[in-house]
Amino acid sequence: MKARIHITLKKGVLDPQGKAIANALSHLGFGGVEEVRQGKYIEIDLTGNDSAQARAKVDAMCAQLLANTVIENYTVELEA
Amino acid sequence: MKSCVIVFPGSNCDRDVAVALQASSGSAPQMVWHGETELPKCDLIVLPGGFSHGDYLRSGAMAARAPIMRAVVARANAGTPVLGLCNGFQVMTEAGLLPGALMRNAGLKFICRDVFLKVENSNSLFTRLYTQAQVVRIPISHHDGNYFADAATLDRLESTGRVAFRYCTADGVVNAAANPNGSLNNIAGILNEAGNVLGMMPHPERLIAPELGGTDGRPMFDALASLLQNA
């Protein structure tokens, strides 16, 4: 089973890297970019087929290490 | 005074702070490897500066989960003074010893230069040899020193005197121009609720002797040494 985890900055947390990316995009001539927020993407291959168990485990991984919940949100998608 | 310096893979100010502790207290700290699970008896624990685990994932994130950190957190909760400098401060926020988080500098660049700090709380056991509102010159050297906390946490820190240091001008004015990294309220260092844990991004251990370019960092180590000798 594969877990795909997206980690993003919470609303209201400044993202200077996202701002720099937005600037670079406009330097390249891409118009219409309102805002850029950047984050992390993590894939984890897990043993076993129980998706409820896997979700609980990955959730704990995110809370304890993968995300810093002071500043970040995370979402988990599981793929059998 | 017996002190311990925790050494993580990628720590690089561990020896500097050992020199500072030795200079002030007369005794060398015990260096404790991150993979240990028990701490020797000690009166002070230091989490040094550096780039533990290459700053992978987030600065301090891996180190905060190192085996020794359980013991460090337990000692801190039991009242042992713990000082976190630069990466040590990042490790402290990741380990939950201090609130908030240290994010990428607002200007996105690594900054290595002297800054001025205003002593906002001279009553702590770390800062008591400074005077209230004293301006000191201390180097910073970091990429992720942009202090963030939610509004409620910030209010709590401000209303209970837990901001130890703020970035300021040479004249002690706290303003946006003197803020090197975008930290909220120009915060450079904070205390925990009990006052026995201090985390700060600047490096007082780098300015403890005239040969190093200044002595503004020395009073912190003198304060810790004399306090613990009297204990």
Write the pLDDT tens digit of every residue in B156-184: 999 999 999 999 999 999 999 999 999 99
Sort strands B197-200 and B187-191 into parallel, antiparallel or unpaired.
antiparallel
Domains of chain B: 3-230 (3.40.50.880)
Comparing C-alpha atoms, which of B48, B132, B39, B140 is closest to residue B85?
B48
- The pLDDT tens digits for A35-63 are 999 999 999 999 999 999 999 999 999 99
Q: What is the mean pLDDT of residues B137-146?
A: 98
**Averaged pLDDT for residues B195-220:** 97
Tokens encoding A72 = 């970040």
For A48, counting Cβ atoms within 10 Å of its Cβ (0-12 exposed, 13-18 middle, 19+ buried), the class is exposed
Which chain A residues touch B149 with a CB distance below 8 Å? Answer: 70
The owner of tokens 């960092």 is B217
The per-residue pLDDT for A78 is 96
**Do the beta carbons of residue B34 and residue B64 sit within 8 Å?**
no
What's the mean per-residue pLDDT of chain B?
A: 96
pLDDT band at B226 (very low <50, low <70, confident <90, very high): confident
d(CA B122, CA B133): 8
At B230, the pLDDT band (50, 70, 90 cuts) reads low
Model pLDDT for residues A14-41, shown as the tens digit of each residue: 899 999 999 999 999 999 999 999 999 9
Output the DSSP codes for A1-68. -EEEEEEEEPTTS--HHHHHHHHHHHHTT---------EEEEEEE-SSS-HHHHHHHHHHHIIIII--
What is Dmax (Cα atoms) for chain A?
48
CA distance A9 to chain B (A): 11
Of A17, A64, A68, the CB nearest to B104: A17
Q: Which CATH architecture has domain A2-79?
A: 2-Layer Sandwich (3.30)
Q: Judge contact between B139 and B113, C-beta under 8 A.
A: yes
Whole-Å CA distances, B182 to B58, B102, B115, B148, B176: 18, 10, 14, 9, 8
Residues of B labelled catalytic: 86, 203, 205
User: CB contacts < 8 Å between A and B, how many?
Assistant: 36
B66, closest residue in chain A (CA to CA): A65
